[in-house]
């Protein structure tokens, strides 16, 4: 069958297109990630109608066979860091896999992936050793980093696991949506501590946090309907932020929270601050948002210390995920030769 591929703009799409796209997502998620709770059709439409991801602008495409939607692709163009790469996600409904649909999608969107001189194509959050990674590696993608996806099911966890007092000499502070000016610069410095987390062979750079970047991040979260909360440990003597953790809930997915970065500044490690801020965050979340049922996060597979902290507060691992990279020029040559 001939695969027809066209751009997909959710805000202007027809109800039939949106429903067909949703059906593909449901089929793929049900097979590849059965442990994940699916959004409703209405929630899905709201989620994909946001034009920008937290990393940068996004484009989408649909693949059809005989008029039926059988797959879709998305491309994220990170900025300002990582302007050398495009992050791609391609999914194909299970019954049409291994029939060239995914390859046709990739071949069609290749010219768009090089926008603004980008040279690297990245697949992020691909289930390790599953069909998607096998397909990508056959095309020349290389696994550059690995992650574990961890889930905390609030109803299954004893809240006593979150009772970790902050060490002497530190105090906890917290806020929603926007950092207070009095802590903004110190918070930005603390967030930059994440840059020494394990990153394997990935060419994806961590953000260099500044007060301006923090404010831009906060604006992006608000534009994407994310309710964001931050909790920090402040060193009493210096007034510096010694540890920070971020957690967000999207309006379209009110029962699921997403644990973002947790960072402890190097000179303040060894005081249990990571455990203290994560425990305090969970106490705050459950008191403030009793509708949240699950908290999910991704941790580098070799970040043993952070994984241990997550296990200590009740997270369990439900999937191994890979980050894959390929040179765009090499992909063009390989697909042209097929």
Residue 198: predicted pLDDT: 62
CA distance 207 to 83: 12
Cα atoms in the Cβ-side hemisphere of radius 13 Å centred on 259: 30
What is the value of pTM for the model shown?
A: 0.88
Between CA 220 and CA 312, with CA 229 as vertex, the angle to 5 degrees is 125
Computed over every residue of the chain, the mean pLDDT equals 93
pLDDT in tens, 157-183: 999 999 999 999 999 999 999 999 999
Cis peptide before 324 (omega within 30 of 0): no
C-alpha–C-alpha distance, residues 105 and 102, integer Å: 5
Q: How many residues does the chain have?
A: 338
pLDDT at 224 over 80: yes
In terms of C-beta density within 10 A (0-12 exposed, 13-18 middle, 19 or more buried), how is residue 317 classed? middle
Most distant CA atoms of the chain, gap in Å? 69
Dihedral of CA atoms 57, 112, 5, 42 in degrees, nearest 10, equals 0
Grade residue 223 by pLDDT with cuts at 50, 70 and 90: confident
Q: Which two tokens stand for residue 233?
A: 């440990």
The CA-atom distances, in angstroms, between 74 and each of 109, 141, 225, 288 are: 9, 17, 20, 34
Residues 5-24 have pLDDT tens digits of: 999 999 999 999 999 999 99
Residue 39 has pLDDT above 70, yes or no: yes
Q: What is the 3-state secondary structure (H, E, C) of the chain?
A: CCEEEEECCHHHCCHHHHHHHHHHHHHHHHHHCCCCCCCCHHHHHHHHCCCECCCCEEEEEEEEECCEEEEEEEEECCCCCCCCEEEEEEEECHHHCCCCHHHHHHHHHHHHHCHHHCCEEEEEEEECCCHHHHHHHHCCCEEEEEEEEEEEEHHHCCHHHHCCCCCCCEEEEEEECCCCHHHHHHHHHHHHHHHHCCCCCCCCCCCCCCHHHHHHHHHHHHHCCEEEEEEEEEECCCCCEEEEEEEEEECCCCCEEEEEEEEECHHHCCCCHHHHHHHHHHHHHHHHCCCCCEEEEEEECCCHHHHHHHHHCCCEEEEEEEEEEEEHHHHHHHHHHC
pLDDT band at 56 (very low <50, low <70, confident <90, very high): confident
Q: Which range is most confident: 87-91, 250-254, 305-309?
A: 87-91
pLDDT digit string, tens, across residues 84-94: 999 999 999 99
**Res 200 pLDDT > 90:** no
Looking at residue 197, its pLDDT comes to 65
Token pair listed for 326 = 């390929």
Q: Average pLDDT in the 259-269 region? A: 94
Per-residue confidence band for 309, with pLDDT thresholds at 50, 70 and 90: very high
Cα separation of the two ends of the chain: 17
For residue 81, what pLDDT band results from cuts at 50, 70 and 90? confident
């Amino acid at each position: 069958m001939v695969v027809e591929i066209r751009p997909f703009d959710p805000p202007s799409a027809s109800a039939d297109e949106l429903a067909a796209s949703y059906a593909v997502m449901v089929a793929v998620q049900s097979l590849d990630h059965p442990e994940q709770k699916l959004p409703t059709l209405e929630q899905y439409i709201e989620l994909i109608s946001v034009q920008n991801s937290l990393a940068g602008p996004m484009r989408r495409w649909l693949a059809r066979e005989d008029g039926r939607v059988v797959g879709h692709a998305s491309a994220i163009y990170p900025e300002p860091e990582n302007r050398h790469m495009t992050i791609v996600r391609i999914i194909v409904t299970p019954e049409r896999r291994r029939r060239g649909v995914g390859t046709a999608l990739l071949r069609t969107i290749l010219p768009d992936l090089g926008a603004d001189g980008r040279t690297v194509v990245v697949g992020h959050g691909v289930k390790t050793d599953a069909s998607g990674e096998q397909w990508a590696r056959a095309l020349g993608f290389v696994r550059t980093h690995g992650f574990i996806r961890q889930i905390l099911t609030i109803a299954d966890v004893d809240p006593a696991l979150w009772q970790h007092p902050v060490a002497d000499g530190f105090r906890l502070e917290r806020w929603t949506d926007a950092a207070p000016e009095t802590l903004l610069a110190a918070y930005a410095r603390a967030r930059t501590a994440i840059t020494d987390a394990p990153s394997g062979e990935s060419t994806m750079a961590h953000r260099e946090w500044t007060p301006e970047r923090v404010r831009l991040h906060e604006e992006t979260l608000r534009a994407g309907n994310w309710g964001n909360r931050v909790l920090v440990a402040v060193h009493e003597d210096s007034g510096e932020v010694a540890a920070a953790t971020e957690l967000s809930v999207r309006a379209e997915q009110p029962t699921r929270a997403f644990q973002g970065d947790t960072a402890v500044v190097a000179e303040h490690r060894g005081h249990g601050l990571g455990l203290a801020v994560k425990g305090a965050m969970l106490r705050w979340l459950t008191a403030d948002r009793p509708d949240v049922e699950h908290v999910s996060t991704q941790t580098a597979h070799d970040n043993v210390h952070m994984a241990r902290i997550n296990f200590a507060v009740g997270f369990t691992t439900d999937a191994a995920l890979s980050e894959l990279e390929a040179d765009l020029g090499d992909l063009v040559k390989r697909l042209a030769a097929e």
